[in-house]
Structure 1
């Protein structure tokens, strides 16, 4: 299905041009130009006012709900809310009501029409408070992929407006709010996830369902008191589109309302059928809205058509409705009918008419399409041809809103329509038709093509023309990757123009055979470099693979990543296809751009059977990829135990072959935490101490990653427990650095050197103090780790804890004998370190522990000097209260007051000045 959007693009373009002209420095506008611009601005304002006036009329029947108030609260806090709900549950009414409320109470200007981010940036007025309303955000019935892309391209600018709304800074951000609404089906669409930055503003309406009291108050707005008494015990619908039911119930009788609430679809269908018999003119008007894509423009009644197709569609419906031969009279009748929309299920927006709800539109298409079958086959949009028609023989109980083709003449017209679409370059209706799932439909379609073989072959040959010799738009060239689509309806807008590849993707073997007989290029590629054979192998379409190979498809053609058909079949575990390709002499050594062969990728992720099939054909079974990874290495990296066991039976001598980073299969298995693989490799005598190029051993990397069970296994297999990396860090040191308490305990109990130092002379205890892991500090100390051992600059573990602000560790160290008066090579003390880093709590604790607060470092800096430089007001207060001397000078003869003035610490200047 195609997206139905408000047709205000011309308004947007004109307004954008107006804004551009009005801001141009080169523009020398004359009074006439100014008048035209003013007139244009007034015209836009009139359109907006028309919408707002319509909202005011509708708001008279609006009932404030709990959800409404919650949305308003969120909007005031975040300046943006994206309301998500199913069709008909009142989300549009809610955002309009809130907009009107903000206008009336807080003088916000409402911008009721926002089709794209461009509208926002053109209409924003930084001198006014504004609220922008974006209804049907990124789609009305289904997701509009183009709209998602447009919003995504400017999402950061929009977020900047939201986050800075109302701030009075140099950039002059406006006081703006955004109320968006979209359907739950749009929100759940994978395409919509591109806008994930808006997720924090989402309000799911279903989480705040209508209460019984709210339902009752809504019903009273639409149903007369007499009907209410009759229906009070009947209308207890829990449908999410309850507000829509109430709206349709207006002016209906009790029995009609009961049927409506029982089944909306059946009620609308019957109502439309009755309308056909009772008011032909009204039914004709509804049919036109349905046929013209829910977008019946008023210009049509003035004989202004967008295309010949639109003109013919209009004329055909009028003829079929027997409205008479005189065009002027017919159009006058329709215009009069449209001016009275009561009980028509149709509403007017600007210059076009549309159904009041998407579900009603769908029902109207099926009812009107069935009555005027041939006209709809000829003129309805191509996505409807693909999705909403069904031959009588293909009907199932699950078919919904389907137009049934129940005679041979209609079937021929339907196939003729497919040919017309192909002439226009549209492949969706033909090759992604929902009826292709039926063998009987495909048989009829193939028979039709054979009957018109010359014409069909000519059409298919059009698609064989290379892109450099035919005009193809950017959108046709840059279609999204169809392989990723799980919902077929997204595919309608992707103009592949590759019937053979599209039919392969759909898995229709007989259609593929038809296309090949019509001389479609079997080796043509899509924009991702994929042939039909590649797609068939990727998706496991075995029968199509056989058909393509029988017709000499080129097995060596690769996609843009250099992946061959055999490569993807091996990766996706399609053994039958792998066997078929090998039987046809596919190149088993053909690698992708990363140097991965089919065999290597099979070892990485496929089942053992695929590995065995390929290995029998591999002359170079040890082939490595660009990263130097062997089949055994990738199998170990991905935990493929049974594949590894098989590989070791034929490749045991390569058990320790490293990759380009020096990592062995055992190393990578330890790094990824594959315990069963580690045990298997060790049992096969893998080198337990083999390090990578950074001298990290398997035990080291396991300790770093936190796999305690594997650490135990490696130690039992005589791994060197104190083996260092290139910075002389041991497994114990790295475990302390990463906070792996359990592993630290295992290593300590296994007699790891507890006071060993790295290149910076840091002990494991020092590292744990720096990182703030008190449990590890305590564990090490209880096992006789020294708390006095200093690093290469003379800093003790206490220094590290003071620097990083770990008060609980500082307290523990001091309580267990750490020297608070110690100095490093620069004469720095733990107190100076704490103050320099703004750690007030630690500073106060050290002072209370008896530290000399006037003691200076090698540069004659006292704690007060350091606090003044850092702007730490609280610490200055603590020091002054403890009796710090304020007039001591550093090596540059500066007092703390001098430094406070130098570094613009006004509050500290005042403190020190008053103290002096």
Structure 2
């Protein structure tokens, strides 16, 4: 029984707010396209830049579905659990998932949450309306996310959503849509003056329109010229003209864009939140009396005009993320010390910069500048505070770490507080700390795929040394080691800092770690050593350093792969040479029996194969656990240059795998005609069979490899050699429907009458599979249509069984006996009547088929039609008794 959950008052409040905002919504081409996609696909992911109206669009569509089709709206779904909480599998629902997986930066944990359940979620739209639901069941999903989130490499885990993507950039606003939109917000007097200016292609157009409300024409022109500069100046002006409004804006900026109404009643979620509120009120000097202060703020919140602030549920926030970021910049620069102390950790990491290093930081336009040493110390103190709270992001993934000068200052600060830093770092690795971490946080995602610092914002690893190895800053790693960080501490994947640095090619970090006696024999959970991953990734300098520190060249992972083998599979030739020059034991193979020569051949790595054979020629014939030689695998994968190299080095051209397949056989099966020619020129046995008796020509014919068939035929392959079932290559081509190969073989004198073990001829096979063009060709060239297989089945009978009306007609025209029966006395009319093929029954009757013949069960065609309730066939047969 399905449990139905009812919407809360908060949900209805959201929907009511949407209704108010929707009064000014302009339906665009993009809106209509998304609505049509949603009707057919039941799921759309709207992707667009911040400020281009995607939230307004998905909300409007949801309201439209409710108004026109009575869909229940489930607004603002934050996680997969929100869908399963409110799902009604027998009703009409539209789920709105805005800012999927993040707003400013991607939330890697959120990606993992959606990834784990997206398959089950999408199944809801496949199953709604099916037999186990009411006919009117209709579940739809409208996702929306920013282009920056969608384009992030981490988001690609959600590949199941890619087929539902709608890119707003593909349907930009037309000039007419822009003018209609802006008319909702500006006075008629300003319209003429703005007409030309507002035809820009500004990506933030819907946001600009919203901000333009109640602004003068000159202000709107400045706004459209530069959104960020306009808001910045507007806030600076507000600071001078309305202290109380600027106070509210500062509170919203400082309190993570969520200034909660309950704070005015002394309800705070944390002591830090309480202190932040108190500090801002003191900064603005709005009165010593606490109740008076709160009353003044309440009065101000009753009128939010020109404040860039809106209310949702019980909290106040900026109308858009762009406004939020600009407000943080203005307010943060104004109340620098308060923001350093109280703003959220991601802003500490991403939006502050020391003036002395500003030239070292790319993209430094929208940052809060710290000008003096005293404030720098306050900033570093804040980093220590974050570490005390268990947050490593602001400290070890800080944007300023790009600057060597900043790192020097930070390390110097840590030296002055070495005891404190050591205690904090020790706390991260203590058992008491790790035991208190929730199982969810312990089960963090694999960070080695991360490509940007901010991917760590929501990450739960909290291992400073390993995180700093990922970043690649050797001076920070050195400082951490001096502060007694455990050099061999591993993450949940068994990876140490040395492993991570070797994997990612952080040479200077590797040098520091090795100089401090990091254990290079420690492997991850898959048995991969630092040397193995450095070899696989081709980090030659690191490989050299590890070998100089006596790293084990023969240490294999759980799959038996050695450093040399993984390097042969993927890395530069130079890596292979370094490893090979230091090895003494070359006998190791992996668990699949593969040698370095084998894997290099499998990947088509010509220079690696050539080098390995120059020093390890004995491995040229060594097969893997399936008996496949390096030559075989190169033929299978289609690398002619590697094939030539192997043959020049005396590879056995006829060496078979355990299924008795030769290199020529597998090349023919894959259709690599160039390799086939090379092998034949090197005296490959052209008719050598596999364990099923199939020749290279047979398998090429069976798989439709026309070019290869030509090569083999012109090279003298036996056209009529049969497999263990006595099927010829021509029979195989007929069975698979390859008319070009049938013609090619017949033109070169292949038999079209030779039958297989069951006396089934090529035309029989074509009739069974319904290949009309092949049947016609065989008939034109004199095949026997009256011959039957050992059960008495004729080509006409099998065509009738399978309902191939056109083939039946052709065979009858060529003189096939329409009453010829098989060993069970089944006639073509019996077969077509039992199969429900009315058109064939009618054709057979017209051509004179006897309707009263009985089969071995004494049943007439009429009896069979009645048995299966084919009323149209029953009528035909009764009419023609």
TM range (shorter): over 0.9
Give the one of 212, 216, 230 matched to 1:249.
212
1:740 aligns with 2:705: yes
Give the one of 484, 488, 492 matched to 2:457.
492
Which position in structure 2 is the counterpart of 1:348? 311
CA contact (8 A) 2:501 2:509 kept: yes
Which position in structure 2 is the counterpart of 1:11? none
1:387 aligns with 2:343: no
Which position in structure 1 is the counterpart of 2:275? 312
Structure 1 residues 284 and 877: alpha-carbon distance in aligned structure 2, compared to 1, 3 A threshold: farther
Root-mean-square deviation (Å): 2.1
Structure 1 residues 106 and 565: alpha-carbon distance in aligned structure 2, compared to 1, 3 A threshold: closer
Is 867-876 or 207-216 further displaced after alignment?
A: 867-876
2 CA distance for matches of 1:70 and 1:196?
22
Instruction: Please give the residue correspondences for 1:198-277 in structure 2 after superposition, counting only pairs within 5 Å.
Output: 198-277=161-240
Which position in structure 2 is the counterpart of 1:363? 326
Describe the superposition over 1:754-794 as per-residue Cα deviations: whole angstroms up to 9, x where unpaired. Answer: 11100010100000111111111000000000000001000
Describe the superposition over 1:480-508 as per-residue Cα deviations: whole angstroms up to 9, x where unpaired. Answer: 11110112212111121211111111111
Describe the superposition over 1:150-184 as per-residue Cα deviations: whole angstroms up to 9, x where unpaired. Answer: 44444344333323444565566723333332222
Which position in structure 2 is the counterpart of 1:68? 31
CA contact (8 A) 1:524 1:531 kept: yes
How much does 1:217 deviate? 1.4
Which position in structure 1 is the counterpart of 2:159? 196
Is 372-381 or 154-163 further displaced after alignment?
A: 154-163
Structure 1 residues 292 and 702: alpha-carbon distance in aligned structure 2, compared to 1, 3 A threshold: same
2 CA distance for matches of 1:124 and 1:512?
49
1 CA distance for matches of 2:178 and 2:845?
68
- 3-state SS, counterpart of residue 826 of structure 2: coil
Give the one of 78, 86, 95 matched to 2:41.
78
Is 823-832 or 870-879 further displaced after alignment?
A: 870-879
1 CA distance for matches of 2:735 and 2:199?
64
Give the one of 757, 779, 803 matched to 2:744.
779
Structure 1 residues 126 and 507: alpha-carbon distance in aligned structure 2, compared to 1, 3 A threshold: closer
2 CA distance for matches of 1:522 and 1:441?
24
2 CA distance for matches of 1:537 and 1:589?
17
How much does 1:542 deviate? 1.8
CA contact (8 A) 2:397 2:454 kept: no
2 CA distance for matches of 1:670 and 1:846?
43
Instruction: Please give the residue correspondences for 1:522-537 in structure 2 after superposition, counting only pairs within 5 Å.
Output: 522-537=487-502
Structure 1 residues 72 and 479: alpha-carbon distance in aligned structure 2, compared to 1, 3 A threshold: same
Instruction: Please give the residue correspondences for 1:639-678 in structure 2 after superposition, counting only pairs within 5 Å.
Output: 639-678=604-643
Which position in structure 2 is the counterpart of 1:600? 565
Which position in structure 2 is the counterpart of 1:465? 430
CA contact (8 A) 1:298 1:351 kept: yes
How much does 1:903 deviate? 3.4
Structure 1 residues 304 and 217: alpha-carbon distance in aligned structure 2, compared to 1, 3 A threshold: same
Is 188-197 or 779-788 further displaced after alignment?
A: 188-197
Which position in structure 2 is the counterpart of 1:633? 598
Give the one of 747, 754, 760 matched to 2:719.
754
TM-score (norm 1): 0.92
Is 882-891 or 220-229 further displaced after alignment?
A: 882-891
Instruction: Please give the residue correspondences for 1:270-309 in structure 2 after superposition, counting only pairs within 5 Å.
Output: 270-309=233-272
Which position in structure 1 is the counterpart of 2:779? 814
Which position in structure 1 is the counterpart of 2:13? 50
Which position in structure 2 is the counterpart of 1:503? 468
Which position in structure 2 is the counterpart of 1:589? 554
How much does 1:332 deviate? 1.5
Structure 1 residues 878 and 341: alpha-carbon distance in aligned structure 2, compared to 1, 3 A threshold: farther
Give the one of 515, 523, 540 matched to 2:480.
515
Is 241-250 or 636-645 further displaced after alignment?
A: 636-645
How much does 1:468 deviate? 8.7
Describe the superposition over 1:164-213 as per-residue Cα deviations: whole angstroms up to 9, x where unpaired. Answer: 44456556672333333222222223333333323333221111111111
1:329 aligns with 2:295: no
Instruction: Please give the residue correspondences for 1:683-832 in structure 2 after superposition, counting only pairs within 5 Å.
Output: 683-832=648-797
- 3-state SS, counterpart of residue 182 of structure 1: strand
Structure 1 residues 595 and 468: alpha-carbon distance in aligned structure 2, compared to 1, 3 A threshold: farther
How much does 1:102 deviate? 3.0
CA contact (8 A) 1:79 1:165 kept: no
How much does 1:872 deviate? 2.6
2 CA distance for matches of 1:462 and 1:49?
45
Which position in structure 2 is the counterpart of 1:12? none
Number of residue equivalences: 878
2 CA distance for matches of 1:616 and 1:126?
65
1:375 aligns with 2:342: no
CA contact (8 A) 2:465 2:487 kept: yes
CA contact (8 A) 1:167 1:175 kept: no
- 3-state SS, counterpart of residue 774 of structure 2: helix
How much does 1:894 deviate? 1.6
2 CA distance for matches of 1:573 and 1:292?
47
**Runs of 4+ with >6 A deviation:** none
Unpaired runs of 5+ residues, structure 2, are: none
2 CA distance for matches of 1:449 and 1:812?
86
TM-score (norm 2): 0.96
Structure 1 residues 636 and 63: alpha-carbon distance in aligned structure 2, compared to 1, 3 A threshold: same
Structure 1 residues 874 and 169: alpha-carbon distance in aligned structure 2, compared to 1, 3 A threshold: farther
Which position in structure 2 is the counterpart of 1:409? 374
CA contact (8 A) 2:109 2:458 kept: no
CA contact (8 A) 1:167 1:173 kept: no
How much does 1:389 deviate? 0.9
- 3-state SS, counterpart of residue 176 of structure 1: strand
